[in-house]
């Protein structure tokens, strides 16, 4: 399958300036870039689509310039925003750039090891492009090649100008010129011939192509990926209104795992194609198996595992799968807990509810964990055979469980068939 067809099949292509670029990318010798503005000290799942698009081109042998917008973020992109946003101070901006830089390095190096392929990439900060460039220089070298009429016709600007309740500052109005200059700089100094971005970035991408053509007469290219929404039309990368970050200190691997476990069946195939490196044939097999028994959530489990594996690595993916299985699955929960290493055991209790043992007797244990409301209700549960410790039925209300702590670390108590609690010693 040719690269263009492959990218279309996976859902990465929305709009392209010239299809000739795909023949060049097929040869594996092109250089391309995708930019990310450091709005926080971490990328989020909304950036992940662009990241995975770049990975596909790197796997074909092309070189990726990951551009962190240390300069452009000082201006803000006006695209699809109702009002101007607050600037960050330089120290915060610098910290965000450094953090994102480290994320790129970590994920791409791990992917290179996992795929066994050399992923050729370089991380650049566009703040470096403007060293020694004065305002007059920028007017002469960039502004004069664009008319105000052209700039006002861009959808990202037009929506802010036509609505009297909104406004746009001169700095935001100039954003597309900065992004265009980024492309020109990378083309001139690094040989970059392709810029990619989300579908709402089309106007900014084309600005770069126009600047390069007017200044050098060189042919360059751009293409966009589509805006990704879930089956209900919401942005797929937010959970309860909050962004899902790639930094584990902001969003745990388990939280990302759970987000994708909650995906609608209608979204699974599309997400597997966009967000994983599984081959199309394997994805087709997963979807076939999933559709035969949707209640088993086979597609969601595989999707969640693969995404966490890419972002955080196999250990975190397995750990998140174990926590999920413990909370919602049907496998032996006691055996799962016993199988955890010391480090996994400690991590496990950061994601699930547990209670510290404080010398309670049997009924007190079930009452303090909210499995029972009173001693009398606990006695009734005992009489009908619904009280368990470490999956062993308890029949004596005075049972001494002090010697039952597994590895002297925990107890697993259960009321009925599904109500579990963990007690740590």
Structural domain spans, the chain: 3-225, 238-332, 355-424
The overall longest dimension of the chain from CA atoms, in Å, is 89
CATH for 3-225, among 3.40.50.620, 3.40.640.10, 1.10.357.10, 3.40.1360.10?
3.40.50.620
Residue 5: CB atoms within 10 Å: 11
Q: Alpha-carbon distance 28 to 30, whole Å?
A: 6
Contacts of 354 (CB under 8 A, 6+ apart): 410, 421, 422, 423, 424
DSSP 162: H
| Backbone torsions φ then ψ of 49, nearest 5 degrees | -60, -50
- Predicted pLDDT of residue 82: 47
Number of H helices, E strands in the chain: 19, 13
Residues 122, 64: contact at Cβ < 8 Å?
Answer: yes
Q: Looking at residue 308, what is its pLDDT?
A: 96
Nearest of 33, 363, 52 to residue 193 by alpha carbon: 33
What gap in Å lies between CA 115 and CA 146, rounded to an integer?
Answer: 43
C-beta of residue 184 within 8 angstroms of C-beta of residue 207: no
Structural contact between residues 244 and 47, judged by C-beta atoms closer than 8 angstroms? no
Indicate the SS3 state at residue 130.
Answer: helix
The pLDDT, as a whole number, for residue 77 is: 47
134/121 Cα distance (integer angstroms): 30
How many C-alpha atoms does 332 have within 13 Å on its Cβ side? 8
Per-residue pLDDT tens, the chain, 425 aa: give them: 799 999 999 999 999 999 999 999 999 999 999 988 888 899 888 889 999 999 999 999 999 999 987 777 666 544 444 444 556 677 887 888 889 889 988 999 999 988 899 899 998 988 888 888 776 776 777 766 666 556 556 666 666 666 666 666 656 666 777 888 899 999 999 999 999 999 988 888 998 999 899 999 999 999 999 988 777 777 666 555 568 899 999 999 999 999 999 999 999 999 999 999 999 999 999 999 999 999 999 999 999 999 999 999 999 999 899 888 887 777 788 888 888 887 777 777 777 778 899 999 999 999 999 999 999 999 999 999 999 999 999 999 999 998 999 988 899 999 998 788 899 98
State the DSSP code for 81. Answer: -
Query: Alpha helix locations (H) across 245-361?
Result: 253-261, 265-275, 280-292, 298-312, 314-328, 333-338, 342-348
Q: What is the pLDDT of residue 130?
A: 82
Supply the pLDDT for residue 363: 95
Q: Which two tokens stand for residue 260?
A: 């994708």
Of the CA atoms within 13 Å of residue 252, those in its CB half-sphere come to 13
Which positions ≥6 away from 46 have C-beta within 8 Å? Answer: 235, 237, 238, 243
DSSP state of 226: P
3-225 and 355-424 share one fold: no
Q: Which helix (H) or strand (E) holds 125?
A: strand 121-125
What class does CATH assign to 238-332?
mainly alpha
348, 319 contact by CB (below 8 A): yes
Look up the pTM and report it. Answer: 0.80
In whole angstroms, what is the distance from residue 289 CA to residue 336 CA? 25
The answer to whether 34 and 67 have CB atoms below 8 angstroms apart is yes
User: The tokens of 369 are what?
Assistant: 């964990």
Distance CA 160, CA 157 (A): 5
For the chain, the first-to-last Cα distance in angstroms comes to: 58
Q: Which residue's entry shows tokens 């551009």? A: 67
H-helix or E-strand spanning residue 5: helix 3-10
The CATH number for 355-424, chosen from 3.40.50.300, 3.40.50.720, 2.50.20.10, 3.10.290.10, is 3.10.290.10
């Amino acid at each position: 399958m040719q690269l263009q067809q492959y990218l279309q099949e996976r859902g990465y292509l929305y709009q392209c300036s010239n299809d000739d670029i795909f023949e060049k990318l097929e040869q594996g010798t092109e250089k391309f870039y995708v930019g990310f503005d450091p709005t926080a000290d971490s990328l989020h799942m909304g950036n992940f689509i662009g990241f995975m698009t770049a990975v596909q081109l790197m796997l074909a042998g092309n070189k990726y310039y990951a551009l962190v917008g240390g300069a452009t973020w000082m201006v803000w992109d006006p695209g699809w925003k109702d009002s101007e946003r607050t600037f960050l101070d330089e120290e915060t901006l610098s910290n965000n750039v450094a953090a994102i830089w480290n994320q790129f390095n970590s994920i791409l190096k791990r992917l290179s090891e996992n795929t066994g392929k050399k992923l050729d990439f370089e991380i650049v900060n566009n703040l470096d492009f403007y060293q020694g460039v004065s305002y007059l220089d920028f007017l002469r070298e960039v502004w004069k090649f664009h008319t105000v009429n052209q700039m006002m016709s861009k959808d990202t600007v037009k929506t802010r100008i036509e609505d009297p309740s909104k406004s746009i500052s001169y700095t935001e109005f100039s954003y597309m010129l900065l992004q265009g200059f980024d492309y020109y700089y990378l083309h001139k100094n690094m040989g970059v011939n392709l810029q990619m971005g989300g579908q709402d970035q089309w106007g900014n991408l084309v600005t770069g192509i126009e600047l390069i053509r007017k200044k050098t007469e060189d042919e360059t290219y751009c293409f966009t990926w589509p805006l990704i929404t879930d089956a209900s039309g919401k942005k797929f990368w937010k959970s309860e209104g909050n962004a899902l970050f790639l930094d584990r200190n902001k969003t745990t691997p388990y939280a990302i795992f759970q987000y994708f476990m909650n995906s609608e069946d209608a979204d699974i195939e599309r997400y597997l194609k966009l967000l994983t490196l599984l081959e199309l044939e394997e994805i087709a097999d997963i979807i076939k198996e999933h559709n035969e028994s949707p209640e088993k959530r086979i597609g969601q489990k595989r999707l969640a595992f693969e995404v966490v594996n890419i972002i955080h690595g196999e250990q975190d993916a397995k750990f998140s799968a174990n926590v999920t299985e413990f909370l919602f699955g049907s496998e032996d929960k006691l055996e799962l807990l016993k199988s955890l290493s010391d480090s996994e055991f400690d991590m496990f209790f950061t994601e699930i509810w547990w209670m510290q043992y404080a010398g309670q007797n049997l009924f007190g244990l079930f009452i303090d964990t909210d499995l029972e409301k009173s001693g009398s209700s606990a006695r009734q549960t005992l009489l009908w055979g619904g009280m368990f410790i470490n999956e062993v039925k308890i029949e004596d209300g005075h049972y001494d469980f002090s010697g039952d702590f597994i590895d002297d670390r925990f107890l697993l108590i259960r009321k009925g068939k599904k109500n579990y609690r963990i007690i740590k010693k």
